[in-house]
Amino acid sequence: MKSQNVMPVVFLGHGSPLSAFENNIFTQSWQELGKNLETPKGIIILSAHWYTDDLRVTASKDLKTIYDFYGFPDFMYEYDYQGKSDEELIQKVATLTGAKKDYEWGLDHGAWCLLKHMYPKSNVPVVQVSISKNMSIGDYRTLAMNLSKLRKEGVLIIGSGNITHNLRNLDRSNSGIVFDWAINYENKIKAIFDSGDDNVLQELLQSEETKVAHSGIDHLIPALICSFFREDGENYYYFNESIVMGSLSMTSFYLK
């Protein structure tokens, strides 16, 4: 998966914060991504866990590690990814998108849990862009279009979320069952990715199916934004095609 001219766009199903410290098929795939991709000149990551009213971009040079989870082992709150940013990349993102510079936010677990495996040395400049709850599907498309030119400058785009994510509807019994509605919902999302039909997407987002698959659409939006980067001649390459705990999709993809 080497890129000669244009960096790929990657969407990753991130799962539990514990994944930062686990060795499994998902974390191994993140490690392989980091090894096999051209080393990017910078990273823009859109995480479901920075859900804001207006569009924001991290503006601090040193990005603090945010522990936006509760009830996990103490050692997890002691880990520090030590993410570094880049003033030029921050300014480019702000200029291209109109995002407000935010000096308080750092990297939430939707970002650093992945980066810990992909770039464990924290040696690639990174900025995080928020998910604005007040943007429309058209706005998200425009966001992707505005950021897409940075791919040609060696910037890797990463989205972090889940295609299905409703913690109230998980199977916590470890039975191994996968709910049909989760499979069907994921398949519908994939079909929409292929068709690029915003009308069908809008209908699905307003449906009862989405209310079952998502307690809110914050975890789905990063996948949608990543799909909007697709250019003529690019294809979806899916991996980690698994639904765990009955309904949590870990399915991931890259565009190339």
Query: Which tens digits make up the pLDDT trace of 27-83?
Result: 999 999 999 999 999 999 999 999 999 999 999 999 999 999 999 999 999 999 999
Q: What percent of the chain has pLDDT over 70?
A: 98
On whether residue 1 sits in a domain, the answer given is no
Under DSSP, the state recorded for 229 is T
On whether residue 55 sits in a domain, the answer given is yes
- Phi (first) and psi of residue 175, to 5 degrees: -75, -20
For range 154-182, the mean pLDDT: 95
On whether residue 4 sits in a domain, the answer given is no
CATH number of the domain that 16 lies in? 3.40.830.10
On whether residue 2 sits in a domain, the answer given is no
Per-residue model confidence (pLDDT) at position 2: 36
- Confidence band of 1 (pLDDT split at 50, 70, 90): very low
Per-residue model confidence (pLDDT) at position 5: 74
Q: Which is it for strands 248-249 and 243-244: parallel, antiparallel or unpaired? A: antiparallel
pLDDT at 4 over 70: no
Host H or E run for residue 92: helix 87-97
Query: Which tens digits make up the pLDDT trace of 69-128?
Result: 999 999 999 999 999 999 999 999 999 999 999 999 999 999 999 999 999 999 999 999
Virtual torsion, Cα 73, 48, 27, 109, nearest 10 deg: -30
Domain count, the chain: 1
On whether residue 184 sits in a domain, the answer given is yes
pLDDT at 19 over 60: yes
Host H or E run for residue 210: helix 208-213
- Report the distance separating Cα 94 and Cα 72, nearest Å: 35
- Report the distance separating Cα 36 and Cα 152, nearest Å: 18
pLDDT at 252 over 80: yes
Q: Which residue shows structure tokens 């939006």?
A: 221
Query: Which tens digits make up the pLDDT trace of 126-153?
Result: 999 999 999 999 999 999 999 999 999 9
- Could you tell me the residue range of the domain that residue 107 belongs to? 9-255
Are 209 and 237 within 8 A, CB to CB?
no
On whether residue 222 sits in a domain, the answer given is yes
Q: In angstroms, how far is the first alpha carbon of the chain from the final one?
A: 9
On whether residue 127 sits in a domain, the answer given is yes
Beta strands in 79-221 (DSSP E): 83-84, 100-102, 126-132, 155-161
- Report the distance separating Cα 119 and Cα 197, nearest Å: 35
On whether residue 94 sits in a domain, the answer given is yes
